[in-house]
Structure 1
Amino acid sequence: MKKYNWGILAPGKMSAKFARGLKLLDKAVLYSVGSRDSGRAEKFASEYGFLQAYGSYEELAADDKTDIVYIASPHSLHHQHTLMCLRNGKNVICEKAFALNTRQVQEMIAEARKQNLFLMEALWPHFQPFYRKAHEILKSGMLGEILHLHGWFSFQPPFDPTDRKFNLQLGGGSLLDIGIYPVIDALTFIGVPYEIHTFALFSPSGSEESITVSFRYNSGKMADLYSSFKTNEGIGCKLLCEKGNMIVSRGRDMNQRVILEVHGRPVEEFVFSPEAMGYHWEAEEVMRCLDNNLTESPVVPLSFSLDLIRTLDRIREKAGIVFPGE
């Protein structure tokens, strides 16, 4: 059994979740951690059992023994850090949002192809049992066609203009941080819209803190999406279909749920409670692809990531969301 040395670039809350997932996988060696703060890297490495700790991202990328790097730095640095890792011969899984805009994502993909290395956006929902169950139900035809999708994600972090959620220099705003999930839902279950309308509210730092987005499709289907740092609704989406409805959500208890409401039948609920919140399945997919000499995942192909970032760019243009340097 081939094993892979994993590196973590930017040890934070997301990296901690991912590391807990890696520990479940026999093929994953928790090898290296890189941070701008050597003390932080050493603490993370000690807590999760990584073998090497580096006080810079460059040292992590230069370590020839690291096979795969998980990137969890702020959105505005994903492009830079992905290119650096690829140019140092590392396969990469990078957190969403993949980058700030389409140009950056295109450059990342081009570099991965030039280097013949694996690249994937870490899109958590695609690997989860509640998403697979939703697809199974839709494929069965019991709900008929989807007519409307309502997606949401909101919570109430304290306002701090230096925090990545509110700092424009770091790609701050609810859209790229949490609003991306309803957009993923719409693209996954319906597709790329032909018409987009938005309304956004902005924080004192200039970052978008609440946004409502409407999608319209040539088929007549519609979607309305909402994300906010001002309300506390949690995360989910509801599919309104010809023969009933389906709610696909993750609760505050971290359980995943699918609630099925077929007309004329009792309501059914399916609950899933994967270990480590299911983050290990993303890492498992990366290693499966490498075992099979694939440079992208058929589960989250780079074409989907391009559709996603192009849609996010269209939303930002409509809402007037601009990041420094664009």
Structure 2
Amino acid sequence: MIKFLDLQKINAPYKAQFQQKLETVINNSQYILGTEVAEFESNFAKFCGTTFCLGTANGLDALSLILKAYIHLGRLQVGDEVLVPGVTFIATAQAVVNVGLEPVFVEPDALSYNVTAETLEPQINSNVKAIVVVHVYGQLADMPSLEALASKHNLLLIEDAAQAHGAVCPSNGKRAGSFGNAAAFSFYPTKNLGALGDAGAITTNDLALYECVRKMRNYGSSEKYRHEIYGVNSRLDEIQAAFLNVKLPFLDVANSARQSIAARYLNEVKNDNIKLPKIAHKNAHVFYVFAIRVANRPDFSAYLEANKIEYVIHYPTPIHKQIAFSKYKNLNLPITEAIHASVVSIPISPIMEYEQVSDVIKALNAY
């Protein structure tokens, strides 16, 4: 069996360092917002190329807190419309509705799966106040053109970078998380930079946002028992921050390994029954998943199972067809629906062996 993702094998090289870090945290007894969180926030801000980073409990909270803080700061108002991709994990839209904003689902480019300035601009009107752009499956969207679009229409531009840790813009060398007004990250265990539990972060150069979220994530408090604004409890766990501090220095190497496997898939899979993703530039895609498309997904899934190749579907049902978002069920989003109906993610991870990749390629070509 070729596993889709072997987390035990991925984390095995760090086990001794994890144990040392755990011992350090236990001995320091700084379990909430301690030195490991502060160190990770500094390290990750530097890695992304931003002034600030704030750890949160998870990626959904990171995005929700950005939007909630901009409401508090007067940049957004409850009821404002926010453009979001039709193709994304449901958390992107949940963050919008959870703070009282209205999502407007936008069709992606059919080949890259990302929204573009061309797909977004026709949806902009006086009610739209922000864009949340997702780097779907790990491929950085065309951020320079999206920054120009947001500037043209005076819109907030927020990155949902939960799938794109370390992705690099080929035109200016900037990393995911350093564009627009702010970015939200998830460090869910399956991510390219994965914790051993839930964890998230916000990166930004916006001092006012940073100061607001720093209070908001901690009960609205900047000092104990003094609460200046309404807040929540969404703090990056000290132990998870310690684990992330161990893994962050190796992220670029791990991403490079994913990119090498992706290059083999792109160059060696030759089958008209399989539609490969369009990649703008290898460094702009960190391949959180390698998503292909097939006309008959049930048949293809059964074929992979018969060949002992694990797979995952990211994602089987578009957000506007989910029960929770039933008010949007009549939206006309044919490209979004076609992608969700045909996409299949095949194995890709930094610990896959050359022969395993070869076996996947052989099976795909024989389908």
TM-score, normalized by length of structure 1? 0.33
Greater fraction strand: 1
Greater fraction helix: 2
Q: Which structure ranks higher in relative contact order (CA pairs < 8 Å, sequence separation ≥ 6)?
A: 2
TM-score, normalized by length of structure 2? 0.30
